[in-house]
Amino acid sequence: MDGQCTTFDHTADVGLDARADSLEQLLTALADGLRRVIHQPDGVDPRQTRTLQLEADEIETLTVDLLWQLMDLIQVELFLIASVEVQVAQLSGACRLEARVAGEPYDAGRHVFNTEIKAVTYHLLQVRQDEQGVWRGRVILDL
């Protein structure tokens, strides 16, 4: 199974719910869910690549860090995302990841924003592997 991400309702906000066989796929699926909330995925070409390197003391915080950085990339740098590839290195006492983000600068003639996200929250945050070995992630976005 590749990673899958769906959105779910949260009164003022929107949540991302993802499942995948690996942590990398899970983070990739959440990243894909995030970009689809902010902008239409159509017509965004992988013309340029950006690399993010992040570290945190546990995986849930690292997940928020990744999504926050991607949100900034889109909303602050106006770099729209075509795809994200994530590599995770789990070390004792810390987690690191490297994300390769492909996309292109916003072009008002071809790209459509859906909404602005204020934040990627810690509320009801969950990133874990279940008993069947499936990785599950839940993140709520403040709109």
Q: According to the binding rule CB under 8 A, does residue 125 interact with other proteins?
A: yes
Among 11, 51, 92, 132, binds other proteins (CB under 8 A): 11
Binding pattern to other proteins, positions 73-112, x when CB under 8 A? --xx-x---------------------------x-----x
Query: How many angstroms separate the CA atoms of 100 and 92, rounded?
Result: 24
Give residue 114's Cα distance to chain centre: 16
Q: Which residues inside 12-31 make contact with other proteins, applying CB under 8 A?
A: 12-15
Rule CB under 8 A: choose which of 36, 119, 129, 136 binds other proteins: 119
Name 85's Cβ contacts closer than 8 Å, sequence gap at least 6.
24, 28, 99, 100
Task: Based on the shown chain and the rule CB under 8 A, indicate whether residue 52 belongs to the binding site for other proteins.
Answer: no
CA distances from 96 to 55, 71, 75, 78, 87 (A): 4, 19, 24, 25, 9
Binding interface with other proteins (CB under 8 A)? 7-15, 38-39, 57, 60-61, 64-65, 68, 72, 75-76, 78, 106, 112-116, 118-125, 140, 142-143
